[in-house]
Chains A and B, each alone.
Chain A
Amino acid sequence: MNKLITTLGIALLVALPFNGMASPQQDLSEFRDYYEKRFPGTPFDDFINGVYSIDPVTREQWEEIEEFPPYELGLSKGEELFNKPFANGKTYASCFENDGIGIRQNYPYFDTDRGEVITLELAINECREANGEKKLKWKKGPIAFISAYMAYTSRGNIIDIKIPDDPRAVAAYERGKKHFYQKRGQLNMACADCHKFYAGSMVRADLLSPALGHLSHFPVYRSKWGGMGTTHRRYGGCNKQVRAKDYPAQSEEYRALEYFHTYMSNGLAVNGPGARK
């Protein structure tokens, strides 16, 4: 009996890498190939422009908007907040590598000491707490401004998310991947349904953007919001849209999703903050 179990165990171990559990690198090349085939007219580097990378009509209007971008006010508030000393005299710079400049491309990362995914917004609030300040609200307002400024100083840097050789990091990645592909909510739709399999189709009057490059330009200013919002604000919106459970911003679930989702944009340039409808 013991031998049987061992044999089965070995068989499973051998079979796993070939069934279902593709490595993150394999996932990434499959993901890129998929979009490159689906949108042959879009050069790889252009996917950072979201829906505008596949829609020449609205792209023109958007490029005009980008000349006087609606996120400019948030961006300058973000810069001010970023440089304003806390009560103890220190600033955000003290919490980050390279004083917090040009580092967006490394977020989110898996912290192997803590065993969890650290997003940029989480790091911003932890920095505040470490310096005796109160946490900011997660989805909009000051945290989005600061995050926008940090993204802005990183424009052009290449997204480089790493999955360290740690089973907990792989588990977080797999959890995010599952969230992306699993059908959810009363309407029974997956993120992948809209942003992969039907990317480029119209849902009523909205063109569905490719998920490749989605997270290069967050946070975004959305006219529908009348302001800026973080990645997790958008996740909440898309999950509510299919009448699925919305997880709290910065929950393990959304951090895992962001980890997978950003990893899928490795190799693309940061161009946040963005402006969207």
Chain B
Amino acid sequence: MSDWRMLQDRLSDQGYVAGDDLAMALYLALTLERPLLLEGAAGVGKTEIAKVLAILKEAPLIRLQCYEGLDAGHAIYEWNYQRQLLAIRAAGERGETGPGLEARIFSEDYLLERPLLQAIRQDRPPVLLIDEIDRADEEFEAYLLEILSDFTISIPELGTIHATAKPHVILTSNGTRDLSDALRRRCLFVHVDYPDRATELAILAKRHPGLEPRLAAQIVGFVQALRREDLDKTPGVAETLDFAAAVAGLGVADLTDDPVALKAALVTLLKTQGDRARVPTEVAQRLAGKAA
């Protein structure tokens, strides 16, 4: 069996069912030591893969959640100004001044590590998850480039810090804006789509092993049918799992049996008022009937 299939199996053992595209890209990213960029709708398991990978590699997971206005001070490093100031005061009272003091307050003791710096200073390769990179500004992408290509960080007062272990980098994006070509070129890319029927069944079997196969097939069929409907917010895999948990929790053995319970369980799938209105009980019943 080839190595990437083995990786796919090991992911599957951890409860993550990866499609061929994703498994291969992840395998290459690990072997070639390149960052992996995952793009896709919300709720298809982009963030999850990093968590599972961290478990597989028995490595720490370092997560950087991006947001509008994220800057180097929050992502890379920051000086601990309060401590520096206290040190200056204390030194002043002792009558100590000069370059010795300056060297001391700009030493590692006063450096606050943020996720990116932390990631390159580990003893063993960690998994670095840069989540929702499309939320960060374009300027921040430029910061990332140096780190992603060389795994070095320059701190003017300290010098350049080289990586002690090259992290496995996973970037995720919801595609709300175009990422720069420079960033895309440094990464391997996979577009993660909603899973097909068989894959989703496999996921459900992994996560809810107690579920009766017939009901599982019904649930997956129902969600897949719902995704083809015209909704504001298409349910992702996480929603399917919630829905399955809800259905199982309500003690439903067959989706078509109990319209009231089905309606109640729909809160896990439909997340806006408009979608709720668009899928009234009759439509839900019809979809469930077809899925059965």
Partners in one complex: no
Interface residues of A (CB under 8 A from B): none
B binding-site residues for A, Cβ under 8 Å: none
